Structure 1
Amino acid sequence: MASPKFHMAFRKYHRWLGFFLAGIMGVYAISGILLIFRPTDILKYDQVQTKQLEANLSGEELLPLLKMRGSKVTSENADEIVLNVGKYDKATGEATVSKKDYPIVLAKMVKLHKATNNSPLFWLNISFGLGLLFFVISAFLMFIPKLPMYKNGLKIAGIGAIVAVLTVVFGS
């Protein structure tokens, strides 16, 4: 059995890492809540962009150049192409498109939350995940295993794991 000094050391590391990760957890919590409402336009505003492209493009040639998911040609005539996200002037090659997006600070937070292994931000995500894993393990090392608080903690953690598994299985 480990000594009380061992358990007190884990309490200290748990507390220090907890204070450090509190700021990161706040950012992840806010960006996670925003991602839940991603299909809606909550907190988003219109951003209008003008892009200079080649002149006299057809609708089929234009859409891949815009690189906007969900864009479609609604009408086309000799002078312009009208899109569901803007318009393209065939004579000048100027495309004016509009999309809804978060303000810059919120957009960066969402990008952080959605980082993949192709992004340099993924190291922060991995570090954060490892920090949370340390919390899981150190929570059980902060108390002496013979104490009732430890045994109750195991029961509550087991209930939490069961609720999470049931939510994933039946909630999706």
Structure 2
Amino acid sequence: MNNSKLSMRVLHRYLGFFLAGIMAVYAISGIVLIFRDTDFLKSEHIEEVKIAPNVKNENLGKALDMRRYQFEKEEGDFIYFKNGDYNKKTGVAHLKSMELPYILDKMTHLHKASTDDPLYWLNIFFGVALLFFVISAFWMYLPKTKIFKAGLLYSLAGIVLTLILLFV
């Protein structure tokens, strides 16, 4: 076995062992994120927030820092909105949210990290490592062997399936 093939196998093996934990986290959080628009595995959390009294309905979402504020009705001193209410007289709002258990919340936060979050460097490293796995897998077997040729067919099938799922 030539030196580059052996080096690629060794790097592939130990990088795989090193990343086993984070791959499990990404797999679990990816599955959980599929259900992010449902209440699957979530529990209800009610928070009481005090803001200025007499905030108008059209400004309430911004005052409560709610991205998806949705007005429902106004009755007397109360404004009712999706997942909460606001007392205009006292300035007290009750906000209901559905939250994942602590560990799953942390895992999904890692999965969704953006450039505003220091975790994004880990995401970049992980993405580059996965690309390395893709490339290094083709160094595992000699190009003339049946296993390598079968691997190419499976790779092509995976690419075709992915394209179908993306564009259909």
Which amino acid letter does the alignment assign opposite residue 42 of structure 1?
A: F
**Alpha-carbon offset, residue 54 of structure 1:** 0.5
Partner of 1:19: 17
Partner of 2:134: 136
Q: Contact (CA 8 Å) 1:73, 1:82: kept in 2 or not?
A: yes
Matches within 5 A, 1:84-99: 84-99=82-97
Q: Contact (CA 8 Å) 1:79, 1:89: kept in 2 or not?
A: yes
What SS does the corresponding residue of 1:128 show, helix, strand or coil? helix
Partner of 2:4: 6
What SS does the corresponding residue of 2:72 show, helix, strand or coil? strand
Compared with structure 1, are the counterparts of its residues 72 and 161 closer, same or farther at alpha carbon in structure 2 (3 Å cutoff)?
closer
**Alpha-carbon offset, residue 129 of structure 1:** 0.9
Tell me the percent identity.
44
Determine the C-alpha separation between the residues in 1 that align with 2:116 and 2:68: 23
Q: Contact (CA 8 Å) 1:4, 1:144: kept in 2 or not?
A: no
Partner of 1:62: 60
**Alpha-carbon offset, residue 86 of structure 1:** 1.6
- 2:45 pairs with 1:47: yes
Q: Contact (CA 8 Å) 2:61, 2:67: kept in 1 or not?
A: no
Name the stretch that deviates more: 53-62 or 139-148: 139-148
> What is the number of equivalent residue pairs in this alignment?
168
What SS does the corresponding residue of 2:162 show, helix, strand or coil? helix
In structure 2, list runs of 5 or more residues that go unmatched: none
Q: Contact (CA 8 Å) 1:31, 1:106: kept in 2 or not?
A: yes
Partner of 2:157: 159
Which amino acid letter does the alignment assign opposite residue 151 of structure 1?
A: K
Task: Supply the RMSD in Å over aligned alpha carbons.
Answer: 1.7
- Could you list the structure 1 runs, at least 4 aligned residues long, displaced by more than 6 angstroms after superposition: none
Match 2:118 to one of 108, 117, 120: 120
Q: Report Cα offsets for 1:111-150 as digits up to 9, x if no partner.
A: 2212223322221111111101111111111222233322
What SS does the corresponding residue of 1:91 show, helix, strand or coil? coil
**Alpha-carbon offset, residue 156 of structure 1:** 1.9
**Alpha-carbon offset, residue 9 of structure 1:** 2.1
In structure 1, list runs of 5 or more residues that go unmatched: none
Name the stretch that deviates more: 54-63 or 10-19: 54-63
**Alpha-carbon offset, residue 41 of structure 1:** 0.7
Q: Report Cα offsets for 1:76-126 as digits up to 9, x if no partner.
A: 244222223222122221111111121222112112212223322221111
